Structures are given as structure tokens and as C-alpha cells.
Amino acid sequence: MSKVAIKHSSDHLLLLVILGLTLFGFVMVGSASAVVAERFHDDQFFFVRHQVLFGGSFGLIAFLTGFLVPYRHWRWLALPGFILSLFLLVLVFVPGISQEYGGASRWIGFGPITIQPTEITKLAFILYLAALLEKKGEDIKDLRKSVIPFLVISSIIGVLIILQPDMGTLLSIALIAATMVFVAGFRIWHLAMMFFGGLSLFAVFLNTAKYRLDRIVVYLHPELDPQGIGYQINQALLAVGTGGLWGLGLGYSRQKYQYLPEPAGDSVFAIIAEELGMVRSSFLLMVYATIGWRGFAIARQAPDAFGRLLATGITSWILVQTFINVGSILGISPLTGIPLPFISYGGSALGMILFASGVLLNISKYTVDD
């Protein structure tokens, strides 16, 4: 007997949390970027204004689109969206369009507009994978019909991201995909095979460039080379430690005076911990945990496989990226350049995570009885 979806209002707690995190992100971008903005643009509000006007306005439109359009409609756009994301990843290597920063080619520019294709790829891959896995149905456990196509698609994305290079995004996409195929029903031995194969490829990837291996060494021994490869993690740990229990106060960070690289971007959690302290930072992590709780509940109650896998992918995306970002700052995981969802500076990252959140909230409108 087929299940009948029940339509009702969206998850109000999740909506409140997402809006609260976004507004909090504007506040922290304003605080963390003030010094750099004043020095390079003679306007301490330059970056937060840019975040609100571009990331915020695009994000609002994207959020409302995801929230209002029934999530099943995205199934038909999954393949075109995935192909478009691959095309944008290729444009990263085209001279005149590509924009390089810090030795990495991760952005493309069209006049005043700058886009980070990997942020689009995350959602496009989740959408396409959800549609693909749903289509497999009973063949989901078949090596030839399900596992191999999944590996081929993942490899294409992986190669394009490795060439940028972007180890943080590669790791986050791998973990998101692993969560989705586990929920879809891949056999355990298939998952084990992919895990050990991926681990071997990751080891090879680390050894292709000395700076990647250095990050692992610094992760294990952060006291090494404090003025070189270990500088950012040591400054981040210093910021967290300086904040203590209750912080120095909003706007009173010392590390944002150009001691800590990317204070409003990848390192924004260090500024949060320094200004607001451990207690409030722990509360922030509980807010992210709330997203995980509500998101996986939405996935469990979704009326079809596509909704279940899509909700799982989006929720995993937020949690995995949060763990990698915060873990890097606290020395729990190797340092990688990946934004803190809803908070870090970056219009592409904010816009796409808000779009995904809107889709997740739309899925929450449809449930079936357990």
C-alpha cells in the first residue's frame, strides 16, 4: 500500500534557527572584518555591507525559492543542474575568467560578480545523487548498477576539485556522499571498499604537494614552525584561549588586527570564541546540533526516497562543514579552507546554504505517519 503524504506547515524551530544564524553571521562578519575593511577600503562596514547586499539579497531570493517551490520539482532539474555545476568547475581553469587567491583557483569572475563554483556543486551534487539513488530502487545494492555509477560521478567531481586544489571541499563532499549512500541502502562491504579506496587515494593526494603534508604534520604538532605553516592554527588557538569563558566582548577581538588570517572567512569561529567566550560558542554549536536533529527528523518522515535522501544530504552538508571548520580552528582536524555555514563571509556560500535550507524546510511540509 502506497504512503500518502500529509501537507502541513514547515518546521518552525528550524526556520527560527536558520534565520537567527544568518543574522548572527552578519553581526560577526561586521565585527571580524572591521579592521581589515578600514585599512584596505577606508570603510569598516565594507565587508558586512557587501555580505548583506549581495550574499543576503541573493540568499533571501534563493531561500524563498527553495521554500516555496515543492521539493519534488527539483528532481527534474537535478541532471541539468549537475551538468551546469561541472561546467562552472571547468571555468575555474579558463584564463580571464578564473580568479586565483592564495595559490588556489577556486573562483570565477564576471565583472564585479565573483562566484565560487564549489558552493554550487555541493547542492547540485546532493540533488543529483538523491535523484539517482531514488531511481535505482531495488538495484541500490547492485555493484554494477549503483556503486560503479556513483564512483564514476564522484570521481569526475573529485578530479576537478583536486585540480583547484580544495582539500576541504573534497573531504566535505566525500562525507556527504557517504552519508547519503549509507541511508540509500548500499551494502556494508561496498561502503567499506569505498572507504579504504578513498583513504588510499587521499594519502596519494596528500603526497602530491608538500604543503598538504605539512598541514597534517602541523595538525599533529601545532607547536612546530609557529611563524610558518603553523602560524594560522596557533593564532586561532590563541584567539580561542584568550576568549576564556565569557570572551573579551563583541568587537574587542585582538586577533582580527591582522594577526589571524581570514578573520571574517574561514577563521570566523576563532573570532567568535575570542569575543563571546567558550560558553556562548558552545551554545552556537548546540544551535548547529539543533539543525542536525530537526534535519534528520525531516528526512526520516519524508514521504518518498527523494525527499529522504535530499534532506539527509542537506543536513549532512551543514553538519559536516561545521565540524570541519570548527575542528580546524580547535585543532581537532587538519586546517582546511572551508566556510562556517550561515556565518563566514562569502556570498556564494551564504546564498547556496540558504537555498538548501529553504528546500529542507519545504520537505518538512510533507510527512507520512511512522
Domain segments of the chain: what residues?
A: 6-367
41-76: pLDDT as tens digits: 888 999 999 999 888 999 999 999 999 999 999 999
- Determine the Cα angle at 202 with ends 199 and 204, to 5°: 115
> Residue 115 is which amino acid?
I
114 strand-pairing partners: 109
Q: Give the Cα separation of 13 and 291 in Å (integer).
A: 9
- State mean pLDDT over 347-360: 95
Please enumerate in sequence order all residues whose Cβ is within 8 A of that of 181, keeping only pairs 6 or more positions apart, or say none: 129, 133, 150, 191
- Confidence check: pLDDT of 249 > 90: yes
In b/e form, how buried is each residue of 101-120, taking b as 16+ CB within 10 angstroms?
eeeebbbbeeeeeebbbbbb
User: Within 10 A of 265 (CB to CB), how many other CB atoms are there?
Assistant: 21
Peptide bond before residue 70 is cis, with ω within 30 degrees of 0: no
Which amino acid makes up residue 55? G
Query: What nine digits make up the cell of 32?
Result: 571580524
Apex 155 CA angle, 153 and 158, nearest 5: 115
Going by pLDDT thresholds of 50, 70 and 90, the confidence category of residue 2 is very low
CB 268 within 8 A of CB 252: no
> What angle in degrees, to the nearest 10, is found between the helix axes of 167-184 and 117-136?
20
**pLDDT of residue 5 exceeding 80:** no
pLDDT tens readout for residues 276-321? 999 999 999 999 999 999 999 999 999 999 999 999 999 999 999 9
3-class DSSP state of 106: strand
Q: What is the pTM of this model?
A: 0.92
Band (214; pLDDT cuts 50, 70, 90): low
Amino acid occupying residue 335 = L
CA–centroid distance for 124 within its chain: 13
Helix intervals (H) in the chain: 12-41, 46-50, 57-68, 78-91, 117-136, 148-162, 167-184, 188-206, 210-220, 231-243, 268-301, 305-330, 347-363
| CA distances for 188 relative to 146, 147, 173, 178, 304, angstroms | 14, 12, 20, 11, 23
Residue-level length of the chain? 370
pLDDT in tens, 95-122: 778 776 655 667 787 766 788 889 999 9
Give the pLDDT of residue 1: 40
* % of the chain residues with pLDDT over 90: 56
pLDDT at 228: 62
Has residue 221 got a pLDDT over 70?
no
